[in-house]
Amino acid sequence: MATKLIECVPNFSEGRRPEVVDAVAAAVSRVPGVILLDRSSDADHNRTVLTLVGSPEGLREAILNLYEEVAKHVDLTQQSGEHPRMGAVDVVPFIPVRNATMADCIALSEEIGAAVAERFHLPVFLYAESAKRPERKLLSAIRKGEFEGLSAKMQDSAWTPDFGPGQPHPKLGASAFGARPFLIAYNIQLGTADITIANAISKAVRASSGGLMNVQAMGVFLTDRNVAQVSMNLLNYEKTPLYRVQELVKAEAARFGVPVTGSEVIGLVPQAALLDAAAYYLQIENWSPALVLENTIMEKASDAELVSR
């Protein structure tokens, strides 16, 4: 069996004290089989986002270490920042990367969420694909009222947590755990400086105004380049693939006689999203990920440890 590789992006409520962020980052990255891909702190938000990738077992240990370290340093009764939060560790999403399914990530969010609730005596809510109730799908609904309103909110049995006590932890609040697909931040540049055209295209392609599911979009003007851009989040590239978004933006731009001049990926993009685009544009009839040399190598190297130290 090839190693399951899962991404985990814990958000915690400290973005001002570098020594605390260092200690938390060290606590997760010392775990064998876990790689810290990125860390990003914002002082105004007073929040840090870690991007980890690892095996299910490795991530379990890393997240428990993270709570232990955060609990030493963060007390929400003393913390404030621009970013809404209900927990010292606010939200812990799990994303399938390789040899792992969404079901694996749901199971892992439940397993680690339950372990955290038990060890640290704090309520854990399951959100996104892991949500057990429709009203818990959106993190914003769970977090509404934030840490300060949580104690009152949880009096209502509608907000009984999925794991842990019926009251928030006095210093650590509560956490949301859940599985979600990889989010691709993708921008398309137009051959015009007219922001109204970028806005019109954005409105046409995004889900909220009748466009493609799993697409968020807005027009942005790039001052330094004097170019209008369709700036997007693609929330589920498997169901709503990159190439379909690209082709729809092109088609909508054509009504204005405006070409697509380029695009950009912000952050990272999963290999599968690009391979799907190649298979579409090259019209490969016998397309399968097994046609890719590297995938076949990985498959045959079945007992190789993909991530180990």
101 sits near a copy of itself (criterion: CB under 8 A): no
CA angle centred on 256, ends 251 and 257, rounded to 5° = 80
Pick out residues in 288-307 that bind a copy of itself (CB under 8 A): 291-297, 300-301, 303-307
Pick out residues in 255-274 that bind a copy of itself (CB under 8 A): 260-265, 268-271, 274
Residue nearer to a copy of itself on the CB measure, 221 or 243: 243
Pick out residues in 171-190 that bind a copy of itself (CB under 8 A): 182, 189
Residue nearer to a copy of itself on the CB measure, 118 or 305: 305
Identify the residue among 77, 78, 140, 286 touching a copy of itself (CB under 8 A): 286
Q: Which of these, 250, 240, 235, 264, lies nearest to 204 by C-alpha position?
A: 250
Q: Which two tokens stand for residue 55?
A: 């095996």
- Count of residues that interact with a copy of itself, criterion CB under 8 A: 51
H/E element, 20 = helix 18-29
Pick out residues in 188-227 that bind a copy of itself (CB under 8 A): 189
CA 230/CA 309 separation, integer angstroms:
41
- Does the annotation count 83 as an active-site position? yes
- Which of the stretches 60-68, 80-88, 214-222, 240-248 binds a copy of itself when contact is defined by CB under 8 A? 240-248
Whole-number minimum distance, CB 144 to a copy of itself, in Å?
32
At residue 287, the 3 state secondary structure works out as coil
Contact present, 87 and 172 (Cβ < 8 Å): yes
Contact present, 99 and 4 (Cβ < 8 Å): yes
Which of 45, 83, 121, 169 is catalytic? The answer is: 83
Residue nearer to a copy of itself on the CB measure, 138 or 284: 284
Identify the residue among 76, 97, 108, 174 touching a copy of itself (CB under 8 A): 97
53 sits near a copy of itself (criterion: CB under 8 A): yes
* Contact partners, residue 125, CB within 8 Å, separation at least 6: 136, 142, 159, 161, 162, 174, 175, 176, 177
Residue nearer to a copy of itself on the CB measure, 195 or 222: 222
CA 33/CA 218 separation, integer angstroms:
38
Provide the annotated active-site residues.
83
